[in-house]
Copies of this chain bind each other. A is one copy, B any other.
């Protein structure tokens, strides 16, 4: 089954209507998700293939999306790299010992994905089986810079002071760190593809803190190497650089098949900048899901108009769904995309 609407759009082939999936479509805005989450700690959910698969599938029927994305956290590979972390209550991830010098970088291990994060592969296999060819499943990983940010900053960050300082003060160590993370991301995504992922997305969630010169020097070579190292024959690679609207001329040099853009740029401008050799994904502002349904529909129409009916548009948000988002508005968004784009 390779004629899914979503995969066809990734390959820039004509489709009956624009496919749509939503970043963080399996998440706290859904009562079904909260029901599981209230009984199970977050990391345990990720590490239990049956639960991860169940959560992955929740939005499929409920919301009507055109692809499932495996439920996982981008920090999962860190454990196998020898970097301990936890999710502190209301504080997000906390890395026990932030990596800030050569010695710490040298200690980082390259994971064996099938043993270190084998539960993700098992969840992918379960989801594939469960979907029985109804919809494709997307695998994903954090991109090297985003993972480096967590590892060096020690968690979320406002200014990225430590990770940038490492790059500026000890570029050799920074590049070694990025190279090691890049190797991890490559084997991790390849394992997901072997397990059955029919597309993969690289999330560079924090790269928007960099200017164009720094992106080119410190990030682009590593992301490019990861994408080149994927055994992705027939498996579209989606590259999402959050806050990267000013970096699009560089991001397109990294390769892949689909570039995912946030809402800070008009979709047609973005597509012009990356060129029509790429499919494009995006770019509805997730906060606009709090708008009335008629305003949501107006905004969907505007994005579809900017896509202009050209093959190669995957509708998505510009970032993840927020926890308090009304679930009926999410459903209305998906319906609007299908209805307003029907050929």
- Chain B residue nearest to A247 (CB atoms) is B264
- Chain B residue nearest to A213 (CB atoms) is B302
Cβ–Cβ contact B212 & A168, under 8 A: no
- Chain B residue nearest to A325 (CB atoms) is B161
Within 8 Å of chain B (Cβ to Cβ): is A160?
Answer: yes
**Candidates B169, B209, B287; contact of A160 at CB < 8 Å:** B287
**Candidates B164, B169, B266; contact of A212 at CB < 8 Å:** B266
A169-B292, A211-B264, A213-B302 given; A159·B287 CB < 8 A: yes
- Chain B residue nearest to A262 (CB atoms) is B211
In the bound complex, residues from chain B placing their C-beta under 8 Å from that of A209 are: 287
Cβ–Cβ contact A161 & B324, under 8 A: yes
Chain A window 161-174, contacts with chain B (Cβ cutoff 8 Å), 1 for yes, 0 for no: 10011001100000
Residues of A in contact, count (CB < 8 Å): 34
Interface residue ranges of A2-44 to B (CB < 8 Å) = none
Cβ–Cβ contact A264 & B208, under 8 A: yes
Cβ–Cβ contact A168 & B292, under 8 A: yes
CA A263 – CA B265 in complex, angstroms? 17
Interface residue ranges of A264-306 to B (CB < 8 Å) = 264-266, 285-288, 290-292, 295, 302
**Candidates B210, B211, B243, B291; contact of A169 at CB < 8 Å:** B291
In the bound complex, residues from chain B placing their C-beta under 8 Å from that of A208 are: 264
**Candidates B169, B243, B263; contact of A290 at CB < 8 Å:** B169
Within 8 Å of chain B (Cβ to Cβ): is A246?
Answer: yes
A246-B264, A290-B169 given; A285·B211 CB < 8 A: yes
A160-B287, A287-B160 given; A265·B212 CB < 8 A: yes
A280 to nearest B CB, angstroms?
A: 15
Interface residue ranges of A204-223 to B (CB < 8 Å) = 208-214
Q: What 7 A-B pairs have minimum CB-CB distances, sorted nearest first?
A: A168-B291, A165-B290, A211-B263, A164-B287, A245-B246, A246-B264, A246-B265
Which A residues form the contact surface with B (CB < 8 A)?
159-161, 164-165, 168-169, 208-214, 243, 245-247, 263-266, 285-288, 290-292, 295, 302, 318, 322, 324
